[in-house]
Structure 1
Amino acid sequence: MTDASEQPPDGGGRRRGRRSRARADFDRARADFDQANERIKQRTGRDLIGAILIGLVIGAAVLLSLLIWKPVFILFVLAAAGTGIFEIGRALQAGGRRIDLIPQLIGMLAMVASAWFLPLWQHWVVVCGAVVLIVLWRVVAGVVERTRGGGAPWQDVLAGVLVQLYVPFTASLAIILLRQESGELWVLAFIILAIVADTAAYATGLTLGKHPMAPRVSPKKTWEGFGGAVVGAVVAGILLSAFMLGLPWASGIIFGLVILFTATIGDLGESMIKRDLGIKDMSSWLPGHGGVLDRLDSILPSAGAALALYYLLTPLVTR
């Protein structure tokens, strides 16, 4: 008779052993990923997992709003622009500037509405009216307050105009592009292009970056990352032009390089503002990204460029 201790383990024991090994493998893989994520976070200051999840949610919302019924995208623009105004306004207020949020929001609503409903020349009238409202509101508020704490009043006026032109005005240009024939595809294309350029710059800079591009403005941006962004933008521009917009593939090179230029200028411009204010992010509302405006810094300035390219390149549409 065979001793019980010499009998092979039963099926349940083998299953428990496999589960234990699988759990141990999963725990090791998770630990390795957490370590890699922590190294990336230490180098870039971003939570990779949070950034990916938030990015996917925002991307899905934008995609659905553009492809299902494009007027829904206007609500997305209003929410993003309103949050952006609040973020940069609060940051400037912390830096000593007086930003009046009520006229800023009124101007935003007027610009977005006119961009969708009014002819282009009338939209420009509304833009000028919004700027005048910002200036007059601040001047009258300064007279009523009868006091100034640091700096000259004209600095507050300029700061208020900057907010209005930087956020709602550029957002309204995206609405003007949206209302054009196949405008939803153009809006989607330039947003994708700006994201691809930013992602390519991030990935290339993280792996190969050694030479700072603008150390006084944004120390973590490198020329190697910019080179990766050029390649990514040109490839994405060609693919988007040929397969989404119906343009000759060669026009995609122009599309990619122009949007890359405006996206880079927007990114560096916001970095300069944040560096001047002594802050890292406009807010912490989006885990892994910072604030809403930190994700729109390359997209907002690209809206005007995309609108200009629409008028320039649509005569070349092949379908």
Structure 2
Amino acid sequence: MTDPSEQPPGGGRRHRLRRPRPDAAPAPDDTALHAHLRAARTEFESQVERARADFEEANERIKARTGRDLILAILIGLAIGVVLLLSLIIWKPVFLVFALAAVGLGLFELTRAMQGSGRRVDLAPQLAGGAALVLSGWFLSAWLHWVVLIAVVILVIVWRLLGQMVVHDGRRHRDVADDVLAGGLMQLYVSFLASLCVILLRQDHGEYWVLAFIIIAVAADTGAYITGLTLGRHPMAPRISPKKTWEGFAGAVAAALIAGVLLALFMLNLPWWAGLVIGAVILATATIGDLGESMIKRDLGIKDMSSWLPGHGGVLDRLDSILPSAGGALALYLLLTPLVVS
């Protein structure tokens, strides 16, 4: 006999849990739900793939027309903008590091481009002179800054002449003169204009003016790019820059003036008409800088100064419109600051 204590509860009846059979068919509602989810997922993946294909096709058309990769250009532009904005907002001297790096890279690119075209330009005095001009713009007075500029140009010229005397390879006097002229102009074009931006930065509320003129220059460039891409038909300066059109320039005008008015009212505390003046001046200097660099690249026989910034070209390709605008912005600051609304 079995001990009653060993029997399971319930009077000796063993209750077994019923497990569903492995081959049991799912409920009709579950089958319909799974089928619906699979269909929705397939449709979503198809839509994503179609959208990606359309975007890549549009990007290839833009790249074929402009020679730029739109996606990389946007991402790199945003990254540079964030770094620039943080350097101006957090602590102004941080922008000095940004300026030194930009000038150094720009001079390096231009030196390599000059050397590739047969001109003899010395990198060491170019980099030293660029750093000296940027730092003097921050630490020294205005008249001492001019002294540094003259000293830097003399350094570049003497260095090249001494180098030519040491080599003594029979280079023609005209070629030597071209080398000296190119080296001196590099300091005026890159280093001196960048130092004007640093001088503007160190003024009271100068960081807002620096940010404002850069925003206007970028807005003008973006307006010209979008309008020229969509509506451009009539070349503006085909011998200098074949892809620039009058329609693109009209877009740049509209973008620069709108940005100037908004920045004058909400950031610089100036009357709205002062924003029109600022927008017009920065547009003019940015356009001159853009066309000027295009002439330099055309003379050197290159498309971009370098390929360091995919979608943009080189560092100097991004500074072409900003460098001349620094001088215009500094002049506007001195003229319009008395109009600031307190």
2:212 paired with 1:189: yes
Between the aligned partners of 1:109 and 1:173, the Cα distance in structure 2 is 13
Q: How far apart are residue 11 of structure 1 and its match?
A: 2.6
Which amino acid in 1 is paired with 2:118? G
Are 1:303 and 2:329 counterparts? Answer: no
- Partner secondary structure for residue 188 of structure 2: helix
Aligned partners of 2:271, 2:63: CA distance in 1, in Å? 41
Q: How does 1:38-117 map to 2 (within 5 A)?
A: 38-117=60-139
Which string of whole-angstrom CA distances, capped at 9 and with x for unpartnered residues, describes residues 94-148 of structure 1?
A: 0010111111111111111111111111111001100010111001111011115
1:33 aligns with 2:55: yes
Aligned pairs, number: 316
| Distance across 1 between alignment mates of 2:308 and 2:50 | 31
Q: Which residue does the alignment assign to 2:164?
A: 142
Distance 2:192 2:118 in 1: 24
- Structure 1, gaps ≥5 residues long: none
Mapped partners of 1:201, 1:214: distance in 2: 14
Letter in 2 for 1:27: E
Alignment partner, residue 231 of structure 2:
208
After superposition, the CA RMSD in angstroms is 1.5
Report SS of the residue matched to 2:145.
helix
User: How far apart in 1 are the matches of 2:170 and 2:282?
Assistant: 41
1:169 pairs with 181, 192, 199, which one? 192
Indicate the SS of the match to 1:250.
helix
Q: CA deviation at 1:27?
A: 0.4
Q: Match of 1:259, as an amino acid? A: I
Compute the TM-score of the two structures, normalised by the length of structure 2. 0.90
Deviations 1:156-194 (A, max 9, x none): 001101111111111100000000000000000000000
Q: Deviations over 1:209-247 (max 9, x none)?
A: 111000000000001111111111111111111111011
Give the one of 221, 230, 235 matched to 2:253: 230
**1:21, distance to aligned residue in structure 2 (A):** 1.1
Percentage of pairs with the same residue: 65
Show structure 2 runs of 5+ residues with no match: 1-24
Q: Which amino acid aligns with 2:142?
A: L
Q: Which of 1 and 2 has greater Rg?
A: 2
- Rounded Cα–Cα distance in structure 2 between residues aligned with 1:111 and 1:73: 15
Hey, what does 2:144 align to over in structure 1? 122
> Which residue number in structure 2 is paired with residue 253 of structure 1?
276
